[in-house]
């Protein structure tokens, strides 16, 4: 909630590219919390219970808690899956590829945390069942350790991905090609020689490009034409800001299908 609220603030003089990266910061904090409070404590608890003797008790409450948790987590996970499939379908991507690559960090966090929670509940229930059947508490301890390992894997995945977006994640080759195509389809652009695009927030891109314009005009006229192209690009909901300049002499043309700068 904090990530969504703080990252949604509009750009101002202090943050000319907006506050979108705050979503990655708060998602990183959440991932560290999942790692420490979830993974480490669960593993530590499981290790401490290895070899411990516990008297048999009433398991009804434990099963009830796990059942309620599974239903609640399942509802949340179902919503995340629906949103993932819808977005992936729009981009013609596989859902898992989309959820790994997307800049929508809160969606990725909910998807993987809920998936881990559902699997963790099943592991905990399995340990509980084996404890009840055999009378050996070691199965409960092993279940806790496995849940901790699972949470640790998910937390590390989220930490790595959010870290990549924080330090500057470039867009996919497909998105780059779409941007080059959009520039070349403009009647005022003759060629594109440089293009840099990176995420400055969830689904928010900072675009810098060098282009050659058609026709020869005075510098003041050319600047006005560049500004008009910038305004058109900036009107796209995914573009936080677009900055265009004229190509320098001798720069090579950036063709469609290129994944890097010349």
Q: What is the pLDDT of residues 144-185, one digit of tens each?
A: 999 999 999 999 999 999 999 998 888 888 888 888 988 888
pLDDT computed for residue 255 by the predictor: 65
Gap between the Cα atoms of 82 and 46, Å rounded: 34
Question: What are the residue boundaries of the structural domains of the chain, listed by start?
Answer: 2-168, 173-246
Question: Who's near 103: CB < 8 A, 6+ residues apart?
Answer: 165, 169, 199, 201, 202, 203, 204
Mean pLDDT in residue range 55-82: 90
Q: What is the pLDDT of residues 89-106, one digit of tens each?
A: 988 889 999 999 999 998
pLDDT computed for residue 169 by the predictor: 86
- In CATH, what class is 2-168? mainly alpha
Q: What is the pLDDT of residues 173-232, one digit of tens each?
A: 888 888 898 888 888 888 899 999 999 999 899 999 998 888 777 777 888 888 998 888
The CATH fold assigned to 173-246 is: Alpha-Beta Plaits (3.30.70)
DSSP summary character for residue 11: P
Q: What is the pLDDT of residues 2-43, one digit of tens each?
A: 888 888 888 888 888 888 899 999 999 988 888 888 889 899
The neighbour count for residue 234, using CB atoms within 10 Å, is 13
Tell me if 2-168 shares its fold with 173-246.
no
pLDDT computed for residue 259 by the predictor: 45
């Amino acid at each position: 909630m904090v990530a969504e609220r703080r990252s949604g603030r509009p750009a101002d003089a202090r943050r000319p590219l907006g506050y979108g990266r705050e979503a990655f910061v708060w998602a990183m904090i959440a991932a560290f919390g999942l790692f420490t409070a979830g993974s480490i404590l669960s593993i530590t608890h499981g290790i401490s219970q290895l070899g411990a003797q516990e008297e048999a008790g009433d398991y009804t409450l434990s099963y009830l808690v796990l059942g309620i948790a599974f239903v609640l987590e399942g509802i949340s996970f179902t919503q995340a899956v629906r949103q993932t499939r819808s977005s992936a379908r729009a981009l013609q991507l596989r859902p898992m590829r989309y959820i790994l690559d997307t800049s929508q960090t809160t969606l990725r966090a909910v998807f993987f945390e809920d998936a881990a929670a559902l699997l963790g509940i099943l592991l905990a229930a399995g340990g509980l069942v084996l404890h009840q059947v055999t009378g050996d508490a070691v199965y409960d301890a092993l279940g806790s350790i496995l849940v901790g390992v699972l949470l640790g894997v998910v937390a590390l995945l989220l930490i790595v991905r959010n870290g990549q977006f924080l330090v500057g994640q470039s867009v996919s080759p497909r998105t780059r090609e779409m941007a080059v195509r959009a520039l070349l389809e403009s009647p005022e652009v003759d060629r594109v020689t440089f293009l840099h695009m990176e995420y400055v927030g969830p689904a928010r891109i900072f675009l810098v490009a060098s282009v050659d314009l058609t026709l020869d005009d005075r510098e003041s006229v050319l600047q006005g034409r560049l500004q008009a192209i910038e305004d058109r690009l900036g009107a796209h909901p995914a573009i936080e800001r677009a900055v265009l300049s004229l190509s320098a002499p001798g720069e090579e043309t950036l063709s469609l299908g290129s994944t890097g700068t010349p």
